[in-house]
A and B are shown apart, each in its own frame.
Chain A
């Protein structure tokens, strides 16, 4: 029941292990844990709230919703975002939808089932209590978003429409065309704007967090860089909330926005916050394939397309070869010569298997020589059947904006010939370790949304990221943060003149000076692409012990080369995008190393983490529950030191742990 405090010393790979802090999972039956826990949390009375300062870094779904909800309660909230407006946070790009256990389709969905699907989807590497709470809160999110004016899709009767996503056999995904993330973010951003007008929330746009200020073991503020003037500034608060999203851009090419980065996470990690499951990264199966060498990012095609699109490659290699050379067109290949490999391998879930499974299956076919694009690294996603059965109008209404987007990028109409897709880096399940209250191992530092590790285990199901970000921001943090703040009432006002602010700011300044001091002319992008190659090759879809060791060597080399050779032109005291980039790459290199450590230590396959050494005879992931049923939380000891592994053992009291099977 309890995620016990377990002490371990020294096992695999000579990584020392020590105790994990208490995750504070409440006792009692699963369905009563959150309710009971809420009742036990301390409160801050309305008259005391305006005196309590909270810093939120990041304005995606998690950050904006938390800012809105805390502002509504009357706290004094300062919000920081790197873009020119909070509305541009990368949540905006989520296309497909948001899950909730409403059971509006009467297909036997329930909180229990959403809980089990999410847990199983994550390959039993997430906490039961957290995942249950997430499922429990999902319905309130839909209620609230509808009230905010989010224009979810409706049926003709005026009721909310649903569609299906991978890893589920029910229709529980709510959506707003292919722009669900944008609409939910506009909802959260609008609610936050309302609080800006009321004076409870202040927004600092074009500010980037540079470091966390820790005083006596507690988070007391941040150092930020004003991205317009280049000046470093200090902000103090009673608590700091990190909502900075994921670190998928460590792969250079990913579906993440260009400015998404892992720097704030790394700053907190270096200040003592444990980093959990860093190697759990999600490769999304349906992205537009890479073309050319100057491409800077990849574009996702929503998972919702797999509701109606069928994935296939030709059955024989000669035809694949002809397709690559454009000697024949895919529509010329007869039905019986096509291999709908997901339907063949996974008849129960078909094209709607979870992302990790679909990605590996695509890679397997392409590696075996059946890939179809010029590079041989693509499979087809075909709508011709759906259009035949349901009509063009219905299908276009559902996916029109995605079809248009595809055509703009590739110059091909997916209605005439099937889309070409290939897996790409998309989301990171890993993040800062947090307890049940979403507090990290630094007191007063909280992490919400993709920035924490909490709910998705080793693989996130589609349409669950929006759900988690909003659950954290609207309904969890606004209850758990006051419990911490209650102990800070009456604490003397915070001073940015405290010596810790001086020291931290000085360290940030030195970090910047080191990067701007080089006299070389090698752009940061050169190193960034090298990093991406190492990541995709050795810490990508398939990982091996020897490959990971090689990655570590190459990363050490890259780190030295980068520090000595990167060119950051211009002054630091101006808007300097190359400096911003270089600072982020420096952190990505360290993060990559941490991911390699984690991937090496986890000698099993689970979810998105596939170690070739651990697979079933038919190439599926093979978990090792006896030795690896734990959250790996890493502690920083120094740049030149190996990180220390802390294991939070996972125990499953309510769900039956089974080998994942989507056949």
Chain B
């Protein structure tokens, strides 16, 4: 079992090394097998560990030893890390398999490079969730940032991709700094890095060190999970190929913040203010992102903002202490968001990489299979019964509602509004892209090629999971909660009995979200409500939303441009002061050398004369000394 736990990490690592080192010129078929194969192998390892009921912290060797400070290399297998591993390797495996078809137009070198990066991504994320101590956690944390940088900048010949990759990296490094400082505060205060003893040493009551550590870790969490105010990298990350978007948004990366709060739940339970901050940031981000998604025209950007919004729900849940509700939404979101991205990827693939929804239309008739799966994902995202999104979202909102305090009611209200907005923008995306008759601008006017089986089957599997996944957790009267029960050994939560009012709230949310979804039909298909008139009426709000609340502009003014000016100034000073100094040294050396070289006359006999004169003087000196 100990070897098996390590094998979860070794499979993707071996795959990445193989593809990176040995397979640049190797066969395409081999790449297509190894790339997804190692992720599936890791998935099998996780299943065996799960079946074996393993629940243990495996320590392999001492990793760092310096005086009394020592860090073991340990892998923590418990229900939380296994849960995360199932999502990462299961959904991740489907996505990497899908990429075999999606990336088929790449050259052989790029093809191998892509799967190498994907395996590194999965590996980093697995390290992040399996790490048994804070130091190892930071390794995974930074590895995820690195691999996202590599994948977002995959088309490195496109300037926009490089800029987006750099932006993601910088934002993530801000978070990494927070993480490292947080781990440092925990170590300085409690002298522990391994989770078990560390959580044991944490005080149960609030305190300065606890709050500080919780806030610093939260900085790492919000950067990785694209929450306010470190969210601006996520929409730009759409520059990467679509399977990358699916992997970042569904199985890995953005869920890291949610995992972090759940893993450190002992810390957050103690730190009252930091814990409330998690909920507030999550709720505000959920509403914020959903409102921006209303006006986006790029289909992947709509999905990106919906991811931010759904991660906001998860933050909201873990912020109010409903950890397993947050993790259930994480699971459900992994299903339907991977599904949405991959179904959208089929469409983008068929329409020659056009991502503008206004150029779509007519897809219901031309790409029926992709359309049906996209509809399943959309309804789940909108929180319509019976799809998994309904159950997980209601789980989150229900927990918030039944908390019964000011924080609970306020985040519920925000979550409720977000759910309505989600119904609306999801409906807009669906009706415009798929249901509407084909737009005149559509790149491919006639018959569209439906995606090949290797791309359709993963989407179909996810569509099935999205449809039946809600059965995991039906918290009505006489219901059950398999996810809660599974995670209880780690999180130690009690069931909160639903209050009667909660059913009313749930029903209200469902009905309004469904109405919003339907309202979008009236706007964009039937035209009974005039979109342009409404837009003109709300011109001010629309402009703010189209500029994404001016966050990019603000960061540009506040950070990018001043730094740019500083860099230019430094460049000028470098040229005028340092460069000139260095050049002067060279000039003077050269000048003195050329005057010295005049002594080299080229006349052999003059050299001999100098030599003989020198010898005579030296001999004279010796004799003179001998006499004296």
- On whether the two chains bind one another, the answer is no
A-binding residues in B (CB < 8 A): none
